Structure 1
Amino acid sequence: MATATGKNAKKTNKQTDTAGTKSSQKDGGSYQAKDIEVLEGLEAVRRRPAMYIGTTDARGLHHLLWEIVDNSVDEFLAGETDRINCTLHKDGSSITVSDNGRGIPVDKHPKTKKSALELILTTLHAGGKFSDKNYARSGGLHGVGSSVVNALSTEMIATVRRDGHEWMQSYKRGQPTAGVKQVRRIRGHGTTIFFRPDDSIFRRTKFNPETIRQHLEDISFIHGGLKIFFHDETKGETHELHHPEGIGAYLEKITTDGQKKSVHEIPFSTEKDDRGNRIEVVLHWTEATDEEVRSYVNGIRTHAGGTHESGLRTGVAKAVKNYMDVHDIKAKGVTVTNDDIREGIVTIISVFLGDPMFQGQTKEKLNNPELSGQVEGLIRPGWKRGSTPTRRLPTRSSAGSCSPPALAWPA
């Protein structure tokens, strides 16, 4: 058997060492157990904020406020509050949200032995909305909203009024700076949250007053019985936002704001409670050429749509086509597409669900599979009832517009 000697032996040893190194690298190399990081508490939120609020630009900044406001809206949905105050302070970078709801519990949690207030504001997935015991319908589902806002704020102060006393706790970047304190005896009930976003997380921490006002006004239309007061200290203005007439008035507003002219006087509107889900739809056609749909789930705007929007679009298209077939309304030499039918339409759909399946913490898309069929089933029968205003269907064909079909609105 031949053996390597001299230079050949050194070369062989070097090759062996190199091979061993490569083998070691494949087996893990310097990647060891000590390299594994365990992020405690809210540290993960601060390390990867986009996972929880989508982005750290202006949209993510305002999302912090939406999370706090949504908690107060959930109290309204539970029948426990009728008023929300939102104050943008003079610095433009800090906000206070207050309601007259039940007030966050402050007593000790039986398992953690911490105050429920501290638990909710400093712990991910801690909250009272995982079952329908306290909230039959709510926007907050994951128990992370308030704690995420706390983690991404240099300062937060929570004030709770309940059980005849006022309680308070302060925080810095998600960590309590003191225990929950009983401040004074007081009448009334509710929760007040003050927070200041962290300028080491966000590119800019100045809130846009008009963005806030528009968002709060949208909420006041969706929840007709809710009164919202927006105090803008940067301009010395107060806006009372209260629209008991609901989404019908909202449709009129966004149509007017968009400088669109409706082609009929009475909008299509329908609503239904279906297997625990409440669905409300209002729409009309305009002389515009675009399609505008605003969808909401438990009062939260679903910018990316979802199954409720797909059911709406399908239902409208099928209802109109069915009406045209039944009444033998045909466009000579023109094929009417679903896009043609929905051209110029302005729609608001609001659904209230006991168990909404949102895509991600920012809740911009709804994934409940049953909603598509429920919404479609609500829309299609609507064209069989009521009066019959008309709408000339647009077409992209050079043949011109087809004959105007009569569309029956619900009574």
Structure 2
Amino acid sequence: MTAEVRREGVLWIQEHARGVVAIPLTKVGTARGSGTTIAFWPDVDIFGATEFSFDALEERFRELVFLNQGLEISLTDLRRPDESRSVRLRFPGGTRDFVGFLDGHTAASAPTDTIAFECEDPRMAGAMQVAFRWCSCPGERIRSFANSRPTIGGTHKMGFRDGMAVAVTAYAREQGLLTPMDPDFDADRIGAGLTAVVSVKLDRPEFEGATRGVLGNSEVRDCVGQAVQDHLGRWLKEDPERAAAVIDQIVQGAHRD
């Protein structure tokens, strides 16, 4: 592995082979701009397989660009000169664009625009990015991430669903769309037709399970839940026409059940 670092007008280089320094950090000349270039040849004894999938790399890099607003990644495959492939990934809208990507062709039938926000919360020593919208398609599509790492669930996802249920139920009761005898909407009912991205970045993430795919930080649930409740509750009051369409979709679904 070779690392080239351009910093303060100087080009530095360092090389490793199987964890052993082959060339120590050495000043090799002048440089313009700043940045780091990493080049490596995969070792079959370390990686197990040395054939990389362009599609898998593109999918993962796309996630990273969506989740880190302002990041841009270019991926080029030169292994077969007669079949070279290249893609440039840049999404200025961040998680808002991610939701649109996940919805694909269903966007035209969405009763709401994408609702998105980001904020920091010192109680969880981190920040959150949340984006979501309802469409006419059945099912719930929630993608969750912790420190840009995909998760299958955890306290950030639970907090998101908690906040959604509280905000929608409170608005429906305030507008008289639920009678005193009607039960609160649960998260499963509200999630019908919902596409969402929930991303948290934490100073001290805690994961559960052998695959470390479940976020366990208990304080994250309350923080994300409260933020979602506040932002969705505000949106429902500020856009009553679209709020009515969302509530109607949920109510009709409850009646069908």
Asked if these proteins are the same fold (TM beyond 0.5), I'd say yes
From 310, 317, 320, the counterpart of 2:168: 320
Corresponding residue for residue 111 of structure 2? 264
Distance in structure 2 (CA, Å) of the matches to 1:296 and 1:329: 34
CA distance, structure 1, for counterparts of residue 206 and residue 112 of structure 2: 36
Q: Could you tell me how far 1:358 is from its partner in structure 2?
A: 4.3
> What letter matches 1:256 in structure 2?
G
The 2-side partners of 1:364 and 1:343 are apart by: 24
Question: Partner letter of residue 292 of structure 1?
Answer: R
Deviations 1:80-128 (A, max 9, x none): xxxxxxxxxxxxxxxxxxxxxxxxxxxxxxxxxxxxxxxxxxxxxxxxx
Equivalents in 2 of 1:360, 1:183: separation in Å? 46
Q: Decide whether the 8 Å contact of 1:220 with 1:243 is kept in 2.
A: yes
1:326 deviates by 3.0
- 1:189 paired residue number: 34
With over 3 angstroms needed to count, the CA separation of the structure-2 counterparts of 1:362 and 1:162, relative to structure 1, is: farther
Give the equivalent residue in structure 2 for 1:349.
198
User: Percent same amino acid among aligned pairs?
Assistant: 28
Higher-helix-fraction structure: 2
Structure number with the higher strand fraction is: 2
Pair 1:373 & 2:222 matched:
yes
Q: Equivalent of 1:279, from 116, 119, 128?
A: 128
Q: 2:250 aligns with which of 393, 402, 408?
A: 393
Q: Deviation at 1:374?
A: 0.9
**Residue aligning to 1:246:** 94
Asked if structure 2 preserves the Cα contact closer than 8 Å seen for 1:302 and 1:364, the reply is yes
Question: If the length of structure 1 is used for normalisation, what is the TM-score?
Answer: 0.52
1:254 is displaced (CA, Å) by: 1.2
Distance 2:146 2:115 in 1: 20
Counterpart position of 1:339: 188
Question: Does the alignment pair 1:291 with 2:116?
Answer: no
For 2:165 and 2:50, locate their aligned partners in 1 and report how far apart those are by CA, in whole Å.
44
Output the CA distance in 1 between the equivalents of 2:188 and 2:115: 19
Gaps of 5+ in 2: none
Q: Does 1:208 align with 2:53?
A: yes
* Structure 1 residue 327, shift from structure 2 partner: 3.1
Cα shift at 1:325: 3.0
Deviations 1:41-84 (A, max 9, x none): xxxxxxxxxxxxxxxxxxxxxxxxxxxxxxxxxxxxxxxxxxxx
AA partner of residue 268 (structure 1):
I
| Structure-2 separation of matches of 1:165 and 1:272 | 37
State the one-letter code of the partner of 2:131.
Answer: V
Answer whether contact 1:261 1:288 (CA < 8 A) is retained: no
Bigger drift between 322-331 and 240-249 goes to 322-331
Aligned residues: 243
2:169–2:184 CA contact under 8 A, matched in 1: no
The runs of 5 or more residues in structure 1 that have no matched partner are 1-155, 402-411
1:319 aligned partner, one-letter code: A
* SS of match in other structure, 2:219: helix
Structure 1 residue aligned with 2:233: 383
Report which structure shows greater RCO (CA 8 Å, sep ≥6).
2
Partner of residue 301, structure 1: 149
